[in-house]
Amino acid sequence: MGSLHESDISLSPPQLLNPEFNPLNIQEFRTQAHRMVDFIADYYQNIESYPVLSQVEPGYLRSRLPESAPYRPEPFEDILRDVKSDIIPGMTHWLSPNFFAFFPATVSSAAFVGEMLCTCFNAVGFNWLASPAATELEMVVMDWLAKLLKLPKSFMFSGSGGGVIQGTTSEALLVALIAARDRALTALGSHNIKKLVVYGSDQTHSTYTKVCKVAGIFPSNIRVIPTTSDDDFAMSPTLLRKVMEADVASGLVPLFICATVGTTSTTAVDPIGQLADVAEGTGAWLHVDAAYGGSACICPEFRHFLDGIERVDSLSLSPHKWLLSYLDCCCLWVKQPNLLVKALSTNPEYLRNKRSELDSVVDYKDWQVGTGRRFKALRLWLVMRSYGVANLQIHIRSDIRMAKMFEGFVKSDPLFEMVVPRTFSLVCFRFNPYKDSDPAYINLLNKKLLDLVNTTGRIYMTHTVAGEVYMLRFAVGATLTGDRHVYAAWKLIKESAEALLKRSYYIVS
């Protein structure tokens, strides 16, 4: 054999080559990251000074920015200046304590530093070997959270199931649906995809229909069970059974049912146990989307909303909504991980390794659509350890207490009314000064009220329509929100309503 001599190497010795550009210079990293910490802390400190809902016009930014990337580097301070002058005015400030729209996305110092650490490692943990800690910590925290929720062992790694962190509910729904679909098609053959039927209610998240279409379910086979205010917009097991039986009678195959704990519109809770009764024996996969409402179930007094969960096939919950975790973090638990893996595994040569081949480890790429994945478990781990179960429960209870306070304001005022009973921390209400007036007029009045309130920039609320009633949604949950914000919001709404009444002759015209 030959031996290596330095002279064999035709290039100059390395020490003579000077690096020309170092994008991860440690000193520069330290300086800039510290500077950014202060920038962000200052932003949080001053967040109440910005209009909650951005007041810019479409296209505002293009006119302010150059048409091309600069050829030469620009100083960090110039960029921060532009964040202040160009970006912040175009932000709708989701972290403002006066943000009561949609569902607020909750955050915390712990999750922030957890996210920094996740970014730091930049581990592309597609399989166990690519970063054992990333895979194993995810398994641990998914079991921790399952315990917090008092899920049965059948959803835990320490039992017969397991969990995985997806981006958002859409991805969680998609992989559960694909697992169910492929189980069905393995039995029926691909050509029978045309027979597969999926079920949700008219309150199920809009992404469900989209995800079903993405998975190739025929649009004509997507059933939407109507709900009514009599059931507080929960899915009716009786109706579901009727629709499923009709489908079976026409030779179709029930594939998937999506139940929701805390719908996006009004936080309705579908009756899991009764829906499981309907699903039983049909072969349909029952999924529970508890994106928002699930987090409340870490408190014993709310756990009953998950009653019957031991009978479903999968459950998703998004800690980025109500467990202080920043976006994006959606936890999915499944009873039969092997069905996910069967539907979603890949095994290219360049990822092969002994560990995976011995089947002794979890390769999370086979539990999701994509290959690469971030080390998101760190955030959840930091949140659970930094605050402890005790504080997480206090946090949930505090939001619900503030929502109750707002509910109290609404109920105590004869000009306003609750439209849907409050379940979690969302209050669905409306302005209804003339009890017998035309419903369309009341809807219009509330639209005007919402506009009036939001254009002040002092708070941001959104609306929904259910049972043909236009209602205002007051969602308490932004992490910085305290009693005084809820109180001030109510005062603003009330005053705006009064102003509106005074000029009501304009509204009708």
Half-sphere exposure of 435 (CA within 13 A, CB side): 4
Alpha carbon distances (Å) from 440 to 335, 435, 444, 472, 505: 47, 13, 6, 15, 16
Ramachandran category for residue 224: left, alpha or beta (phi over 0 → left; psi -120 to 50 → alpha): beta
Out of 48, 116, 159, 336, name the contact with a copy of itself by CB under 8 A: 116
Q: Are 363 and 356 in contact (CB under 8 A)?
A: yes
Asked if residue 58 binds a copy of itself (CB under 8 A), the reply is yes
3: Cβ–Cβ under 8 A, 6 or more apart, which residues?
Answer: none
Asked if residue 52 binds a copy of itself (CB under 8 A), the reply is no
Q: Which helix (H) or strand (E) holds 497?
A: helix 483-502
Q: Are 424 and 396 in contact (CB under 8 A)?
A: no
Q: Which of the 8 DSSP states describes residue 166?
A: E
Out of 243, 279, 334, 361, name the contact with a copy of itself by CB under 8 A: 361
User: What does the alpha-carbon distance between residue 247 and residue 251 come to, in Å, rounded to a whole number?
Assistant: 7
For a copy of itself, the binding residues in 281-320 under the rule CB under 8 A are 320
> Would you say 136 or 231 has its CB closer to a copy of itself?
136
For a copy of itself, the binding residues in 67-86 under the rule CB under 8 A are 67-74, 76, 78-79, 83, 86
Q: How far is the CB of 273 from a copy of itself (least distance, A)?
A: 26
Q: Which stretch binds a copy of itself (CB under 8 A): 252-260, 276-284, 331-339, 456-464?
A: 456-464
Length of the chain measured in residues? 509
Strand order in the sheet with 330-334: 162-166, 330-334, 314-317, 285-289, 253-260, 196-201, 222-225
Out of 251, 360, 505, 509, name the contact with a copy of itself by CB under 8 A: 360
Q: How far is the CB of 506 from a copy of itself (least distance, A)?
A: 16
User: What does the alpha-carbon distance between residue 318 and residue 330 come to, in Å, rounded to a whole number?
Assistant: 4
Q: How far is the CB of 425 from a copy of itself (least distance, A)?
A: 15
Q: What is the DSSP string of 279-336?
A: HTTTT-EEEEE-TTGGGGGGSGGGGGGGTTGGGSSEEEE-HHHHSS--S--EEEEES-
Q: Are 313 and 154 in contact (CB under 8 A)?
A: no
Asked if residue 436 binds a copy of itself (CB under 8 A), the reply is no
Decide: helix, strand or coil at residue 464. strand
Out of 100, 151, 163, 171, name the contact with a copy of itself by CB under 8 A: 171
> Would you say 134 or 286 has its CB closer to a copy of itself?
134
Q: Which stretch binds a copy of itself (CB under 8 A): 246-254, 272-280, 302-310, 376-384?
A: 376-384
Out of 395, 422, 430, 458, name the contact with a copy of itself by CB under 8 A: 395
Q: Which stretch binds a copy of itself (CB under 8 A): 233-241, 275-283, 409-417, 436-444?
A: 409-417
Q: What is the DSSP string of 382-433?
A: HHHHHHHHHHHHHHHHHHHHHHHHHHHHHHT-TTEEEEE---SSEEEEEE-S
> Would you say 204 or 236 has its CB closer to a copy of itself?
204
Out of 98, 154, 168, 496, name the contact with a copy of itself by CB under 8 A: 168
Structure tokens, 246:
């009709």
Out of 53, 244, 252, 261, name the contact with a copy of itself by CB under 8 A: 53
Considering only CA atoms, give the Rg of the chain. Answer: 26
Out of 154, 236, 265, 446, name the contact with a copy of itself by CB under 8 A: 265
Alpha carbon distances (Å) from 405 to 270, 422, 474: 25, 11, 12
For a copy of itself, the binding residues in 138-167 under the rule CB under 8 A are 139-140, 143-145, 147-148, 158, 167
Q: Are 165 and 377 in contact (CB under 8 A)?
A: yes
Q: Which stretch binds a copy of itself (CB under 8 A): 249-257, 267-275, 281-289, 489-497?
A: 489-497
Q: Are 151 and 144 in contact (CB under 8 A)?
A: no
Asked if residue 405 binds a copy of itself (CB under 8 A), the reply is yes
Q: Which stretch binds a copy of itself (CB under 8 A): 132-140, 244-252, 276-284, 438-446?
A: 132-140
Total Cβ atoms within 10 A of residue 488? 14
> Would you say 178 or 259 has its CB closer to a copy of itself?
178
> Would you say 34 or 304 has its CB closer to a copy of itself?
34
> Would you say 102 or 283 has its CB closer to a copy of itself?
102
| Total residues in contact with a copy of itself, by rule CB under 8 A | 188
> Would you say 122 or 281 has its CB closer to a copy of itself?
122
For a copy of itself, the binding residues in 183-212 under the rule CB under 8 A are 190-191, 193-194, 205-207, 209-211
Q: How far is the CB of 174 from a copy of itself (least distance, A)?
A: 7
Structure tokens, 15:
């020490």
Q: How far is the CB of 335 from a copy of itself (least distance, A)?
A: 20
Asked if residue 336 binds a copy of itself (CB under 8 A), the reply is no
For a copy of itself, the binding residues in 210-249 under the rule CB under 8 A are 210-211, 213-220
Q: How far is the CB of 483 from a copy of itself (least distance, A)?
A: 4
